[in-house]
Structure 1
Amino acid sequence: MALKVGKGAHAPPFLVMDVITAANARAAALPPGAPGILRMEVGQPATGAPAGAVEAAMRALGARLPMGYTEAFGLPSLRARIARHYAEHYGATVDPRRIAVTVGASGAFPLAFLAAFDRGDRVAMAAPYYPPYANILTALGMEPVLLPAGPETRFQPSIAMLEKLDPLPDGLIVASPCNPAGTMLTPEELRAIADWCQARGVRLISDEIYHGLSWGTVAESTAATMGNSAVVVNSFSKYWSMTGWRVGWLVLPEDLVRPVECLAQNMFISTPHISQLVAEAAMDCREELEGNKARYAESRAALLAGLPQAGFDSIAAADGAFYLWCDVSRLSNDSVDFAARMLEHAGIAATSGVDFDSGRGGRFVRFSYCGAVEDMRQAPARLKEWLGR
């Protein structure tokens, strides 16, 4: 008799991880001296953790600190430093007791979903969206409700979309800046959505992991506008350039503090101690981090100038994060095949839009521009040569 495999084991893949594997294989097969692969498939800054954070890790290791388990919600000093971040950057007073340090934002989402929702609950999000939102919800027995969004709403949800839902959802996920489109809600739009959720008993989950990376539009945190009921997710992976250290955090409403703490105790025990020390030090490395941001700005400018000349002339408003969401329907309606051929013939790894929108993603490709500036400058010329422009 065949053994049962749980339904959660059948969550869809996160296809960008397959692109990473294919790009690694392609790079390993290149002959000596051949042009390298331009890595534009994943949101992983090429810069690494800031120098001050690395030095903090070396000091801790050199002192042979025990670095055992911390409290489930993390080191008190790190939680206090995160609370100070909200005061300094958003003018928001956040009690450190409401902050939970997590194993990256990826560890934060299951904690938030399990505490805020039940099996069968419906959670809305704009499409295109970050795939693990829907995949984690599905694995937990919850139902993602997709709101197809386009350039008319800057690929963001709107109150008009929400008002059409019947029944209303139990939750709503927003991301500003968002992945993959890189677009943002204005502060006024975010407040209006927050007020709509508050009035209707819809739990708002605000993904703010790209805060600090915006280009002209101010990012506002729901910790400042809707702290009583919203859940805020953030991470040290993007602005702080610490993907592999796996440190994120939640800002929780009072009613979810203890439920999330109990879940964290059982599921993760605690975020790695050394990573928490590094994260706390990283928060004081503002000058280096702003230098990283300046390099992303260079790459963004080079791509926005060069990609249209290569045939990629329909690009979402790149308000924040470090992604360009390109409509490639003039070139292909099969972005999976298009991205595979791009890797093979142009040596550029990018991500098919199908990962972010299974219905319409065949027309889109996402380019990440957080790699080396020189690589980003090379990309348009390679694409022009490949496409014969």
Structure 2
Amino acid sequence: MDILDRVAVLRGAGRDVISLCAGEPSGGAPAEVSHAAASLHASGRALTYTSALGIRELRAEVAAHYGRWYGVDVDPSRVAITTGSSGAFLLAFLAAFEAGDRVALARPGYPAYRNILRALGCEVVEMDCGPEVRYQPTPELLAAAHGQGRLAGLVLASPANPTGTMVSRAELAAVTAWCLEHGVRLVSDEIYHGVTYPEPGAPDPRGVCAWELDESAVVISSFSKYWGMTGWRLGWMLLPEDLVRAVDALAGNVALCPPAPAQYAAVAAFTAESYAECDEAVAEFGRTRRLLLDHADRLAWGPAAPADGAFYYYADLGPQLATWGSSSAYAAALLEQAGVALTPGGDFDDRAGACSVRLSFAAGSLAVGEAIERIVAFQQR
């Protein structure tokens, strides 16, 4: 967010800056959703508080979505609409864990997990998940962490931020079985489902939902990524039965309800037209990813994660570190001198992150293509 603030300052001063630091699709909401929002506001309808867990029609649409994509029968009463996935993580952690509980995460990983957990008094157990395990937790890593003190939970993301890596059905089944055997609550972050790049005919092309394997898991998702609705601040959870009442009570205290206008408009996200529009946006992400991978040698960085899904390229800076010393110094210079904003890896990994950067290719092929040229020129100075 500090980098985004600096981008805004530079643009305000007239600088041409390509921002590849935020995980934000450039296309925005599907047309059907925008039309629904415009009609809602034009109607003059009073927008009052909704149920703490969201309007019934949106919860029903989310439940039906799981039947279409995963063949999972979801009771709408176990769907909670939240203020973004951020609100979902806060409510899930409050409901599922107590202060002092040990909760495991992959490192590198999304920093808000650990920041929210620590703010709530939980002990964060970061497992070093490198390329040898495709940056994802394994039963062996969990067993080692559990042996040092009982784990209460595991947060697993597939596709993951910042690496874009995914777990297969077999891998998720193994982790789920381990969690069930040891009484560890699985929180499955699935906000990038649908933003994936499978080979033709690959199984589970959108990702595997944890509820296909275990309905005692908490599943968290969002309208921000596949639907491109970041600023609408709308996410959801699939809740185990034992957490529904707790989350309902907490939600009414934390935010009263999710944003009402966004909820009513988001019902249109589940039309055939909206799905088609979002699939085309994902196809464009795929073309941009291909462009980036085809030019990876020109960047002259080090090893990178495979980016199975999401829209991130997470790479070691390799030989560039000899000049700049750290990814933070490199990213700062690149922004000021070349007008390209990347995210240094320190937020994602407080050990090895100083050597890595995350490039978001959500901005599209034109922006990424121009950024590559600027990066190459910057490194040749």
Q: Counterpart in 2 of 1:294?
A: 283
Cα contact 1:93–1:224 (8 A) shared by 2 = no
Cα contact 1:128–1:155 (8 A) shared by 2 = yes
Secondary structure of the structure 2 residue equivalent to 1:169: coil
Over aligned residue pairs, what C-alpha RMSD do you find? 1.1
Instruction: Output one character per residue of 1:110-150: Cα deviation in whole Å (capped at 9) or x when no partner.
Output: 10001000000010011001001000001111111000111
Question: Hey, what's the Cα distance between the residues in 2 that align with 1:344 and 1:60?
Answer: 43
> Is residue 198 from structure 1 mapped to residue 190 from structure 2 by the alignment?
no
Q: Counterpart in 1 of 2:238?
A: 251
Secondary structure of the structure 2 residue equivalent to 1:43: coil
Gaps of 5+ in 1: 1-16
Pick from 308, 317, 327 the counterpart of residue 319 of structure 1: 308
> Is residue 381 from structure 1 mapped to residue 373 from structure 2 by the alignment?
yes
Instruction: Output one character per residue of 1:333-370: Cα deviation in whole Å (capped at 9) or x when no partner.
Output: 41111110111122110000001001110110000011
Pick from 320, 339, 344 the counterpart of residue 331 of structure 1: 320
| Residue 330 of structure 1, CA deviation | 2.0
Cα contact 2:157–2:189 (8 A) shared by 1 = yes
Cα contact 1:180–1:325 (8 A) shared by 2 = yes
Q: Counterpart in 2 of 1:94?
A: 74
Cα contact 1:162–1:168 (8 A) shared by 2 = no
Secondary structure of the structure 2 residue equivalent to 1:367: strand
| Residue 29 of structure 1, CA deviation | 2.2
Question: Hey, what's the Cα distance between the residues in 2 that align with 1:264 and 1:130?
Answer: 23
After the TM superposition, which residues 86-165 of structure 1 pair with which residues of structure 2 at under 5 Å, given as runs? 86-165=66-145
Instruction: Output one character per residue of 1:227-281: Cα deviation in whole Å (capped at 9) or x when no partner.
Output: 1x11011000000000000000010000000000000011111111110012111
Cα contact 2:196–2:282 (8 A) shared by 1 = no
Pick from 21, 25, 49 the counterpart of residue 5 of structure 2: 21
| Residue 309 of structure 1, CA deviation | 1.1
Q: Counterpart in 2 of 1:263?
A: 250
| Residue 382 of structure 1, CA deviation | 1.0
Secondary structure of the structure 1 residue equivalent to 2:318: coil
Question: Hey, what's the Cα distance between the residues in 2 that align with 1:161 and 1:313?
Answer: 25
| Residue 26 of structure 1, CA deviation | 1.8
Question: Hey, what's the Cα distance between the residues in 2 that align with 1:317 and 1:112?
Answer: 29
Q: Counterpart in 2 of 1:176?
A: 158
TM-score (norm 1): 0.93
Pick from 333, 336, 339 the counterpart of residue 344 of structure 1: 336
Q: Counterpart in 2 of 1:8?
A: none
Cα contact 2:102–2:124 (8 A) shared by 1 = yes
| Partner amino acid, structure 1, of 2:208 | E
Secondary structure of the structure 2 residue equivalent to 1:82: helix
| Partner amino acid, structure 2, of 1:237 | S
Question: Hey, what's the Cα distance between the residues in 2 that align with 1:77 and 1:112?
Answer: 22
> Is residue 220 from structure 1 mapped to residue 208 from structure 2 by the alignment?
yes
Aligned residues between the structures: 368
Question: Hey, what's the Cα distance between the residues in 1 that align with 2:167 and 2:113?
Answer: 19
Instruction: Output one character per residue of 1:293-323: Cα deviation in whole Å (capped at 9) or x when no partner.
Output: 1111111111111132121242111100000
Q: Counterpart in 1 of 2:39?
A: 59
Gaps of 5+ in 2: none
| Partner amino acid, structure 1, of 2:10 | R
| Partner amino acid, structure 1, of 2:260 | H
Q: Counterpart in 1 of 2:171?
A: 189
> Is residue 40 from structure 1 mapped to residue 2 from structure 2 by the alignment?
no
- The ranges of structure 1 where at least 4 consecutive aligned residues each deviate by more than 4 angstroms after the TM superposition are none
Cα contact 2:303–2:318 (8 A) shared by 1 = no
Q: Counterpart in 1 of 2:64?
A: 84
Cα contact 1:41–1:349 (8 A) shared by 2 = yes
Instruction: Output one character per residue of 1:194-252: Cα deviation in whole Å (capped at 9) or x when no partner.
Output: 1110111000000000000111163100122111x110110000000000000000100
Question: Hey, what's the Cα distance between the residues in 1 that align with 2:32 and 2:233?
Answer: 17
| Partner amino acid, structure 2, of 1:244 | G
Question: Hey, what's the Cα distance between the residues in 1 that align with 2:48 and 2:226?
Answer: 27
| Partner amino acid, structure 2, of 1:322 | F
| Residue 329 of structure 1, CA deviation | 3.0
Q: Counterpart in 2 of 1:207?
A: 189
Secondary structure of the structure 2 residue equivalent to 1:84: helix
User: How much identity, in percent, do the aligned residues show?
Assistant: 43
| Partner amino acid, structure 1, of 2:248 | E
Using the TM superposition, name which of 176-185 and 283-292 deviates more.
283-292
